[in-house]
Amino acid sequence: MSPVLNRRKFLSYLGTGTAALAAAGAGLDGLVKTAEAKGLFHQPGRAKKPKYGPLKFTPIEPSTKDELVLPKGYRYDVIASYGDKINPKGDTFGFNNDYTLYFPMDNKKGRGLLWVNHEYVSDLFVFGRTIETGYTAEQINTLLYNQGGSVIEVYQDSKGWKMDPSSTYARRVTGLTPIDLTGPARGSAAVDGAVTVQGTFANCSGGRTLWNTVLTCEENFESTSKAAKLNQTHYGWVVEVDPFNPRFQIRKHTALGRFNHENTCMGLAKDGRVVVYMGDDKKDACVYKFISKGTYKPKAGKKNAKLLEEGVLYAANFAKGQWIPLTIEAVRKKAEGNSALLERFKTQADVLVNCHEAALLLGGTPTDRPEDVEISPFDGTIFIAHTNNDKHGNFHGHITRFYEKDDDHGALEFQFAIFAAGGIQSGFSAPDNLTFDEDGNLWTVTDISSSSMNTAIWTPFGNNGVFVIPTHGKQEGEAFQFASAPVEAELTGPCFTPDEKTLFLSVQHPGEETEDLAKPTSMWPHRNGDDIPRPSVVAITGF
């Protein structure tokens, strides 16, 4: 018998997470159904029509194998692994690949650029030992070089997908690359006057802009910036890169706030302003959205990047169903009589640099580790993965679905539902990155921590996986497992090619709990001659 008890649709939530409690108390089910029946959540002219086809695979069972397990009929090609040469110059692929974003090349079917984030470094696998007494200068360089991102060129031939190391586009963006600041905090006292900073690291997930650049998100930046003795306020931002154009100045958009950024998802308000949804991945942290001052002009192409320099940043108050503007005026009003806070918050730059504190002060709801936020391309609703929060007894996490007032991403009021919840009733635990397929299914990867995996209440789930959850119809909210990760790995950054015939996926930190290099807990991807496991990006085909 499958260790997962059953997959019935989740109807009531008994956890104690703040967001979950608010949802349970709000009696939303009826509201949401009425609004759906009236078609209130659809966006004429903008929405894609889902095909609602049947599931294209036979779900797999949880697995503990040291292998990337896929349904029958599917296969994967390893296209880039840690340390691989990516270009003629000899640049190498960084460690712990995460977010991937595919950019097809004009007129070249089956060839494109792939942006890949590199989130952090394993001392044991990169330096050959754990570092307890501080890094040498050379080790700091290695630490910084192996984070950031890679632009690689990939192509498909009769044998499968491969990386093209002769690419003239392929390059690295690292913790050593000079990067400009834009927006209100640029040159401000809040960032010690900086207009250019050193590098990007802790790059977790990201998003595509409407003008086809990538936004890569700095998440848990604290340990690297501390180890490298870099200014903490220069990290924790959203960074914009144009994979095709090395002359596009890489920039950190301070108007989008500084926190532990998981990803971004960009949409348009009805009046044409750009809206960016974002999660702050830590316990008891907020969901944010940025609304630009100016409006999107398709003909302006990459000049639209300017839109991310000026606008208003909001935090979600779940109990009121309101987006709260994070302005210096509001913060100072709230801080009246508190001299320490008034000292800390003097300018809008202070609000952006200390975003989490400002958001909580103004009524942003602390939630259970908001990770990926994605807009449904079919009905404009917003899905938010809340990985988990042991502080609230929410051990398996849940996925929230936001319904903006009047279907407008520019609205300042919303309703929400708990779309799916982790647990043995659904078969998944710790939802993280999200994406959609043409049938209207939500794809989620899971991130049970390596230290909890296959122990205690997490035993039935096996290794981390990929799950597919219909967003409409009889099976709405039910999860079906598509992939199971190698030992102690996390699957991240799922990205379909436009024809949905290939899914790019990162396999991050296989063998993460290894203590003795002579006895690695994983050897995935099992390459001949290798003596360590290697984080790698794969291309899955068979759809």
Strands (E), 485-535: 490-496, 502-508
Report the DSSP pairing between strands 251-253 and 178-182.
parallel
Phi first, then psi, for residue 197 (nearest 5°) are: -125, 165
The SS3 of residue 352 is: helix
User: Which CB, 97 or 514, lies closer to ligand FEO?
Assistant: 97
Q: How far is Cα 79 from Cα 445, in angstroms, rounded to an integer?
A: 19
Look at residue 119 and give the partner it binds from Ca ion, ligand FEO, none, a contact being a CB closer than 5 to 8 Å depending on partner kind: ligand FEO
H runs (alpha helix) in 283-327: none
Cα separation values, 402 from 25, 147, 323, 417, Å: 16, 33, 12, 7
Q: How far is the CB of 516 from ligand FEO (least distance, A)?
A: 26
Side-chain half-sphere CA neighbours of 499 within 13 A: 9
Is 465 in contact with 481 (CB distance < 8 Å)?
yes
Is 394 in contact with 366 (CB distance < 8 Å)?
no
User: Which CB, 432 or 439, lies closer to ligand FEO?
Assistant: 432
Q: How far is the CB of 370 from Ca ion (least distance, A)?
A: 11
How many CB atoms within 10 Å of residue 280?
27
**Token pair in block for residue 15:** 């956890």
User: Which CB, 181 or 485, lies closer to Ca ion?
Assistant: 485
Q: Which of 309, 350, 438, 447 binds Ca ion (CB under 5 A)?
A: 447
**Token pair in block for residue 543:** 């759809």
Q: How far is the CB of 385 from Ca ion (least distance, A)?
A: 9
Q: Which of 66, 309, 432, 438 binds Ca ion (CB under 5 A)?
A: 432
Q: How far is the CB of 219 from ligand FEO (least distance, A)?
A: 5
Over the window 426 to 455, marking each residue x when it contacts ligand FEO by CB under 6 A and - when it does not, the resulting string is ------x-----------------------
Q: Which of 119, 240, 309, 404 binds ligand FEO (CB under 6 A)?
A: 119
User: Which CB, 219 or 350, lies closer to ligand FEO?
Assistant: 219
Over the window 117 to 136, marking each residue x when it contacts Ca ion by CB under 5 A and - when it does not, the resulting string is --------------------
Side-chain half-sphere CA neighbours of 439 within 13 A: 17
In the region spanning residues 33 to 62, those forming contacts with ligand FEO, defined by CB under 6 A, are: none
How many CB atoms within 10 Å of residue 302?
15
User: Which CB, 69 or 204, lies closer to ligand FEO?
Assistant: 204
Q: How far is the CB of 205 from Ca ion (least distance, A)?
A: 5
User: Which CB, 154 or 453, lies closer to ligand FEO?
Assistant: 453
H runs (alpha helix) in 394-462: none
Which residue in the shown chain puts its C-beta closest to Ca ion? 447
Over the window 178 to 207, marking each residue x when it contacts Ca ion by CB under 5 A and - when it does not, the resulting string is --------------------------x---
In the region spanning residues 190 to 249, those forming contacts with ligand FEO, defined by CB under 6 A, are: 204, 219
281 binds ligand FEO (CB under 6 A): yes
Is 150 in contact with 86 (CB distance < 8 Å)?
yes
User: Which CB, 119 or 407, lies closer to ligand FEO?
Assistant: 119
In the region spanning residues 354 to 413, those forming contacts with ligand FEO, defined by CB under 6 A, are: 371
Is 463 in contact with 507 (CB distance < 8 Å)?
no
Residue owning tokens 């959850």: 469
- Chain positions contacting Ca ion, by CB under 5 A: 204, 432, 447
Sites of contact with ligand FEO (CB under 6 A): 119, 204, 219, 262, 281, 371, 432
